[in-house]
Amino acid sequence: MNPFSASVSRTARRFPFLATAALSLACATLPLQQSAAQLQQKSASSSDPWWKHAVVYEIYPRSYQDSTGDGIGDLNGITSHLGYLQNLGVNAIWIAPMYPSPQVDFGYDISNYESVDPQYGTLADMDHLIAEGQKHHVRVILDMVLNHTSDKHQWFIEASSSRTNRKHDWYVWNDGIPADSSGVTPYQKRFEHEGRVPPNNWVSGFGGSSWEWVPAVHQFYYHEFYKQQPDLNWRNPAVEKAMFASMQFWLDRGVAGFRLDAIPSLFEDPQLRNNPETGGINAQGDPNVGNTYTDNLPEVHDVIRRMRAMVAKYPGDRVLIGETYLPNAAELDKWYGGTAQNELQLPMDMLIAFHGNHSALNAADFRQHIQEVETQIHGAQPLIVFDNHDNVRAIDRYGDGAHDDQINKLLATMLFSTRATSLMYYGQEIGMHTTTPTHREDVKDPIGITGWPKDKGRDGERTPMQWTPGPQAGFSTNPHTWLPIPPSYKTINVAVESKDPNSQLNWFKQLIALRRDIPALHSGSMTMLDTTNPDVLSYVRSTDSGPAVVVVMNFTAAPKTITLNLAGSGVTGTTVKTLAASDPTLTSISTLTDITLPPYASWIASVQ
């Protein structure tokens, strides 16, 4: 959740479904099991922290597996698929918020940071998931929402009861300004209460003013997102102390770290200056404004440095991942801590997949962004992501309707063959599509209800995981799932694709295994090749401990013939051996001269 993501999205009780659990294990293959064991040996002997070469897999808990038959996914459902995740090659799962919540924003409005929402299970279920994850070499990362709480959190209930309450200053309050003040806009007057209006033009990322009036205290409180999500006042040290304590609660239970939601939004301008107006109105009818004074303020970095120091006291290389929609690589570098690298280990690089026109599949554009993150973050570890719960799935953003499968494989090739840690989203590995509601009455996401039809919400990328071609796609025994099962489940599912060597699932497995087992792809350096080619992206990964590997992708719907010159890359060798090819015509290539790539083809080869 983030103002940027809002803009780019349309912004037996334990396991009664043993057949589905058995399917997860059946999807495993012996070679992959052996590779997983080899990976553990590598990790034990390597000085690199585990997260540096990890595959992290986001799970939206409502949508992964229902173990109780209520139509909603839960923690025990996730546990039942750990075998599947291990054999896919996943090293850690990031679970979207599963804390107690009124579910206004489906968990991102938290009412208790130190428990589990009953619809997802219990604390004992979470402990069981963490323990079983350790057995499967799959770590658990939790989503931590630090910017705001639910308005039903006890803190806010107390804070909004009286100006003299000891928790009142835990949130951001303002008396507002007289409605007849000079410069007050008609938009501000729409939110007038008791002759007062919001103090500035700040607009919520989910529609309406960012200021909500509370009659009991005769003040407005600030909310970056829904009005049911009041922002915490991070200028109050008591807030930091309380939130760090909640993080420690989970670290003590064995979580591997946190994905930090909307983390650049912790601080707002103390002078409450107006954000710059950018013209026009949004889908909710509000004026479009920038976020100069509500996002990415410098004070946030002090908090992150203290957080990193707190987390570093725990063993096991606990990790901090940030939801960081940022304008450029220079800003991204600040979230690592610059040369000190004492802030986030893995701020998300949204520049590669969510830059500018994020539906344009342009080789030169991707090359530029990859080179920027390679050269402008002081050698820190990049983290690439193409999909998440807030945005249209990449297969649909970049797909053309005719070559979607090839394009999804191309994106996966980039995700797993660059030098970055990889972050993927459930269903990405089987080519799940965004299934947007066609009627407003079917929409569950509030922003889709208020923004219809310009903004149809985020339900489309949150539909249940497609496990089998059977009832409810194997997700639930209940025909009334929380979101409808997409019609595509009959052919796009784990069971069917496990049997097809050319499927999306097996392409993902192959790429992840190569990345894990081949030194050059695991930890080698990266050099761009053929850098003026507007249609084909190619690079070489190299290391002292094994052969170099070339990676080539055709970004167009037409065949492209290329010749690769390794001069200047430090790599010698003139013959190649194919390691992976998305098109069978590429498997017999033995030279880097006159290679003809079919439309949207991906090819990976070792240099002999």
Q: Is the pLDDT assigned to residue 25 strictly greater than 80? A: no
Span 52-56, mean pLDDT?
97
What is the model's pLDDT at position 562?
A: 97
Q: How far apart are CA 199 and CA 426, in angstroms?
A: 42
In a domain, 27, yes or no: yes
In a domain, 463, yes or no: yes
Output the six-digit token pair for 594. Answer: 């006159």
Q: Is the pLDDT assigned to residue 37 strictly greater than 70? A: no
Q: Is the pLDDT assigned to residue 117 strictly greater than 60? A: yes
Residues 505 and 580 in one domain: no
Output the six-digit token pair for 438. Answer: 């066609």
Q: How far apart are CA 301 and CA 267, in angstroms?
A: 10
Last residue of a domain, one of 513, 533, 561: 513
What is the model's pLDDT at position 19?
A: 39
Tell me, what CATH number does 597's domain have?
Answer: 2.60.40.1180
Residues 55 and 174 in one domain: no
Q: Is the pLDDT assigned to residue 11 strictly greater than 60? A: no
Contact 2, 205 (CB under 8 A): yes
In a domain, 167, yes or no: yes
What is the model's pLDDT at position 506?
A: 98
Q: Is the pLDDT assigned to residue 341 strictly greater than 90? A: yes
Residues 177 and 134 in one domain: no
Span 16-23, mean pLDDT?
38
Percent residues over pLDDT 90 in the chain: 90
Per-residue model confidence as pLDDT tens digits over 540-553: 999 998 999 999 99
Q: Is the pLDDT assigned to residue 435 strictly greater than 90? A: yes
What is the model's pLDDT at position 229?
A: 98
Residues 97 and 139 in one domain: yes
Residues 552 and 599 in one domain: yes
Q: How much is the mean pLDDT over the chain?
A: 92
In a domain, 534, yes or no: yes
Residues 142 and 159 in one domain: no
Q: In the chain, how many domains are there? A: 3
In a domain, 518, yes or no: no
Supply the residues annotated as catalytic: 261, 323
What is the model's pLDDT at position 465?
A: 99
Q: How confident is the model at residue 17 (pLDDT cuts 50, 70, 90)?
A: very low
Q: What is the pTM of this model?
A: 0.93
Q: Is the pLDDT assigned to residue 98 strictly greater than 70? A: yes
Distances 484 to 98, 400, 428, 461 between C-alpha atoms, Å: 21, 24, 18, 12
**What SS3 class is residue 542?**
strand
Residues 285 and 209 in one domain: no
CB-based burial label for 232 (10 Å; 0-12, 13-18, 19+): buried
Residues 356 and 402 in one domain: yes
Per-residue model confidence as pLDDT tens digits over 254-311: 999 999 999 999 999 999 999 999 999 999 999 999 999 999 999 999 999 999 999 9
In a domain, 486, yes or no: yes
What is the model's pLDDT at position 357?
A: 64
Domain that holds residue 174: 154-222
Residues 306 and 322 in one domain: yes
Span 449-460, mean pLDDT?
96
Q: How far apart are CA 519 and CA 527, in angstroms?
A: 15
Q: How confident is the model at residue 574 (pLDDT cuts 50, 70, 90)?
A: confident
Residues 347 and 291 in one domain: yes
Q: Is the pLDDT assigned to residue 431 strictly greater than 50? A: yes
Tell me, what CATH number does 188's domain have?
Answer: 3.90.400.10
Span 132-156, mean pLDDT?
98
Contact 289, 277 (CB under 8 A): yes
Last residue of a domain, one of 492, 513, 534: 513
Strand-pair category, 319-322 with 257-261? parallel
What is the model's pLDDT at position 46?
A: 66
Residues 446 and 585 in one domain: no
Q: How confident is the model at residue 359 (pLDDT cuts 50, 70, 90)?
A: confident
